[in-house]
Each structure stands twice: as C-alpha cells, then as structure tokens.
Structure 1
Amino acid sequence: MVTDMHDPVEAVRHFSRFYTGRINVLADRLLESEFSLPEARVIFELGHCDGMSARDLADMLGLDPGYLSRLLNGLKRRGILTRSVSEMDRRRHVLALTDAGSSALEALQAKSRAEVSAVLEPLGQDARRDLVSTLRKAEHLLGGESAAGKPVPVIRPHRVGELSWALARQAMLYEQEYGWDGGFELTLLKIGREFLEHYNPDDDCLWIAEVDDRVAGSAAVVRDGPETARLRIVYVEPDARGLGLGHKLVGACIDFARSRGYREMVLSTYSMLTAARRVYEVAGFTLYAEEDEQAYGQYLTAQHWRRDLA
C-alpha cells in the first residue's frame, strides 16, 4: 500500500505505525514485564505524584472510570498499590504504590531507558538535538493545548544560563509576594554558586518547567550526604500556577534521586510558604524539625522536611 505523505492524516498515521512498532508497545506485556501498557502508565503516574485519587487518574489519562476501577483493583490484588483515606481530607481516598509497586516502577523505567537508548544509539549529537527539537515542536503542535484550554508544560534538564534566570526570578517574586529583602537574593546566589561549582550530573540536576517555550519554574537536586539528596531552587511563575508544575517538578526530582541511589531526600522551607508545603506533603515529605528565626526582613518559622526514598 502506498501512503500519501503529503496528506497530514496519512503522515501522522504512518509515523504512529512506525514508532509503535519500533518500541514494541503493541505487545501484550510492556517491556517484557508482567504489566500491560495501561497498567504501566498508572504505575508511572502514581510513582511521580503521591496523593492521587482514582478520579485524578481517570481525568489525567482520559480513561473510563469503570475500566480504570477494574485495572486498579487488579493491581491492588497483585500487591502493586494501596488505597487509603487521605489524612488531609477524610472524604478522599488516595492511591499509593507499595514497596513492590515502587520496585516495579524502577524496573520499568530502567528497561524503558535502555530501550530508547538503543533506538538513539546510531544517532550522533547533532541528529539527537534535531530529534529533540522536532519532538518538542510536534508535542507543541499536537498537544500544546489541553482539553481545558491550558498549555501543556514540559519538564526538562536545564540549559546554560537558566539557573541564573531561575534564581533572579525567585528573588523578584519573593520580594513582590512576601516582602523579603535582598538577603534572600544573597542566599540564592550562594546556592547557585555552590550548585555550579560542585555540579556533577551523576549526583545533581536542575529541572526546568517550560510553558510556551519560556521558563515557568524550576527545582534542583544536590547531594547532601552519602545517601541523602537535598531539594532546592523550587519556584513556579505566577501565571503558570494551576498547571501542576510544582508537583511535576518535585516528582521529577524524586525520580532522579531514586535513579541515582539516594536513600532519602530533605528540604528546608518556611511555614508561610503554604502552597509549597502543600506540594511537599502530597509528595510524601514529613516535617521533622522547625525553629523561629529572623531573616530577609521577616520573623519566620524555618521548617525541615524529609522523605524516605528506599
């Protein structure tokens, strides 16, 4: 059969057949695992965003609630996930991966990375950059607007110059929103300098949230001990709030830390930053210490949070 590649419909269908065959997603079990593609996608989402309900998953994945309920019950029977009452809202039931589910997620991600790496192996650096650029453009053209009319964000590694941008924007926003003085900017500059001086891609990362080709937020992971990662430089632009960027950025950091073998992640924040604290709570962090201090022209309560990654 001859395909008319000048017809946009046929061109998209042709590429879909090519790529699904290349990465073998049509097999009964994904990546030679015990899971189907929908099951693996549910495991992936639960591993990157704690505190989700079945309704949240149905809306995110566009799945029929009845079909999703059967799928979740199957995973629960196999010991992959649990369903419990939310501590923050007793009317809400939340889903979470068990230890077996977390192990399954790690295995799926390792196999997926290995498979895609094998696909990319024949390509040189220039070809890979062209491919990434083309994929981003395709995603923007085909899915740049969600069903609700909101732009779809991209979470990606940082590029040269974006750390300085993120630090400057956070300093400006905190002065505008909370009245923090220049002392906070000095603290951010020290954090940025330490990141650049000690940056090791095997240990550290800076994730950038991009919306409509512009920086809309950031979050970083740095080594804080032999088995401890620290979460830093978390911020989201005001006009990009409501897109779940905070959850996505923190989830990407947790995923990175796990992939590098960290056993726990810690962070420090202030009690007045209620939106950020909500993100940390949903991501599974727990408060373990706090103290009052005077900083940035304010009387603040510093808080220290921890999450087990084992």
Structure 2
Amino acid sequence: MVAVVDDVRAFNRFYTRVLGLLRPKLVGSPFGLAEARVLFELAHVDDIEVAELRRQLDLDAGYLSRILSAFTAAGLVIREQSESDGRRQVVRLTPQGRQAFGELDKLQADAIDELLAPLDDRARTDLVTAMGRIRRVLRAREEHPGRNSGLVLRPPAPGDLGWVVERHGARYAAEYGWDLSFESLVARIVADFAERSDTRREAAWIAELDGERVGSVFCTAADAPDAAQLRLLLVEPSARGSGVGTRLVDECLRFAKRSGYRRITLWTNDILLAARRIYEQAGFICDRREPHHSFGHDLVGEYWSRDL
C-alpha cells in the first residue's frame, strides 16, 4: 500500500505541474482558476440558484459570493430573486459574460492544442484512454453500478482478435496462475473463428468503455446442428461490477436466437465465480461437472446450457 500511495503522490505532483500550464491566468486570461470554474458552469445553464452553483463547485459560500459580486460589478452576471422562493437568488451570465467565457474557452483550448501538438495519433489515443480509465475507477463508488453511458459493444476490428488472445492469457495467468497452454487454446479458438468467417451463424463483440477495450465474447456454432456456443467471455478488472459481462452475454443470446439456434451451451470452470453468476442470471443451468487437469492445474470443468 505504501508503494501505491507514493505512486499516486508522484502522479499528482506531475499532473499538477501540467495542469498549471492550463490555468486561466497562465494562458493569458485575467481570471483565476475558481473564477474560470464559475464562468464555465454558468455558461452551460440558463439560470441557476446560487446555492446549487456552490454545491456543484464545492466552493465556500463567502468565497463564491465575492466572485459573483466582482462579476456583477464587471457586468458579467446578473443576480435576481428566485421566482419560486424569494429567499433564494438565481444567477446567469450577461451577453458580456458569455463573451468573456468564449474568450477564456478559446485560450484554454489553444493551450491544450499546444500541449498535445508533439504527440502522434496513437499517443493521443493512449492519453485519452488513460484519462477515461482514471475517471471511471475513481468515480465508480459514486455511480450506480449498472449505469454505463460510455459502454459500446461492436464487432472486432483489425487488432482486436490479437487483443482477445493477449488479454485472456495475461488475465488468467495473473488471477489463476494458468500457464501458456490456456493462451494457446484461446489462440486456436480465435483463429478458427476468423478462418471460418461465418457471419451468418457466428459473431464476436468487443466491449468498449469510454473508448477503452474492456471485454469480449464470441458466439460460435456448437457440434449439435441447432446449438450455439458462448465462448471467450472476458471482462477487464477495471470494468467489473459495471454490467459489462451481462451486456456481452445478453448480446450473444440475442444473436444466437436471431440466427435460428434453439439452444446455447458453454464450458467454464467452477473457480470462475463471477462468470458463473452472470450465466446463472442469464438463465443457464449447469448440466454436468467433470474434474480435469489443464493449464497447469487440477480444475473442475462445468458444462452449462439453456434454451433460446
């Protein structure tokens, strides 16, 4: 834990230096950081109660009052009594205030462009993806676990199949100690899927959360002519508990039903508890269990299925 705390502190010191370059007064604006935050909030609403503005910005009431007084004197805002409650005040930007915000916004956008200019497209994508992951991890405790407006399920694009193989190998090695034979199995499944290219009867999905790949699932034909098989369900640790696995399984079931299959099967192992819970919730039933030695460990395999 000490090492983690030190890493967070080091990142905070680094990011604070970078953020300092983007602060309003450093990019040529007359406004300070708190003043810029107030302008930004007011620019995105028509009217807002002062108490609500203070809550959203988490600013001291006296400090916010001084900022609004200065803005009023400069002709940037208007403060009036609320029509619904005479004890409250509402505030809004004047045309002059909106012009001031527009100038500030352009200065900061130009500063960000200058910051990103040395980076190529791949580096910019990596940067935005990392920012999305940080936001998602730190705000997870505040949000409803099932709400994921940034979740997208899409077909695999070039590079995604290799990612599926790599992430399965890395994740199962890290979490369960499985050896390279598991990654080899995944590679064969993925390669066979790609070679068959049977888009009518088979499909795969990559889950993206805030632009980052966080999961996968495949639907392939099983041995029985009227049966499909759910394979290679994966959810990255950063996205677990947010409904990604459930969405992937639901999409797989919908595709299998549309494709004319009457039943769908899957194979898993009893130690994969999170996946088993998702399968149970989706209506799968464990038909049989078989001990086996695979991937460097003694395991108990499970065969699950459900009607479509």
Q: TM-score, normalised by structure 1?
A: 0.52
Question: Larger radius of gyration, structure 1 or 2?
Answer: 2
Letter in 1 for 2:175: E
Which residue does the alignment assign to 1:200? 198
- The aligned residue for residue 177 of structure 1 is 175
Percent of paired sites with the same residue: 38
- In 2, are the aligned partners of 1:219 and 1:235 still within 8 Å (CA)? yes
Instruction: From the superposition, tell whether residues 8 and 202 of structure 1 become closer, same or farther in structure 2 (CA, over 3 Å).
Output: farther
| Contact 1:219–1:233 (CA under 8 A) maintained in structure 2 | yes
AA at the equivalent of 1:196: A
In 1, Cα distance between equivalents of 2:148 and 2:307: 33
What is the CA–CA distance in structure 1 between the aligned matches of 2:306 and 2:193, rounded to whole Å? 21
How many Å apart are 1:265 and its aligned residue? 0.3
Q: Which runs of 4+ in 1 moved over 4 A?
A: 144-147
Q: Give unpaired runs (5+ residues) of structure 2.
A: 1-42, 46-131
Q: Distance in 2 between matches of 1:221 and 1:184?
A: 19
- Matching residue of 1:276: 275
Where does 1:40-51 land on structure 2 (aligned, <5 Å)?
Answer: none
1:223-279 residue CA offsets vs partner (Å, 9 max, x unmatched): 113211000110000001111111100000000000111000000000000100000
- Helix, strand or coil for the counterpart of 1:253? helix
2:143 to 148, 152, 155: 148
Matches within 5 A, 1:127-146: none
* 1:12-23 matched pairs, under 5 angstroms: none
1:286 deviation in Å? 0.5
- Aligned match of 2:255: 256
In structure 2, distance between residues paired with 1:176 and 1:239: 14
Name the aligned partner's letter for residue 209 of structure 2: V
Shift of 1:158: 1.8
What is the CA–CA distance in structure 2 between the aligned matches of 1:302 and 1:207, rounded to whole Å?
24
Q: CA RMSD in A?
A: 2.3
Q: Are the aligned partners of 1:167 and 1:233 in contact in 2 as well (CA < 8 Å)?
A: no
Aligned pairs for 1:79-118 within 5 A: none
Gaps of 5+ in 1: 1-6, 10-139
Match of 1:288 in 2: 287
Instruction: Report the AA paired with residue 244 of structure 2.
Output: L
Give 1:51's aligned residue. none
Which whole-Å CA distance do the structure 2 matches of 1:178 and 1:285 have between them? 24
- In structure 1, the partner of 2:306 is 307
Q: CA deviation at 1:159?
A: 1.4
Cα distance, 1:178 vs structure 2: 0.4
TM-score by length of 2: 0.52
Tell me the alpha carbon deviations over residues 137-188 of structure 1, each in whole angstroms, 9 at most, x when there is no partner. xxx9xxx999827653112222122121012101100000000011101111
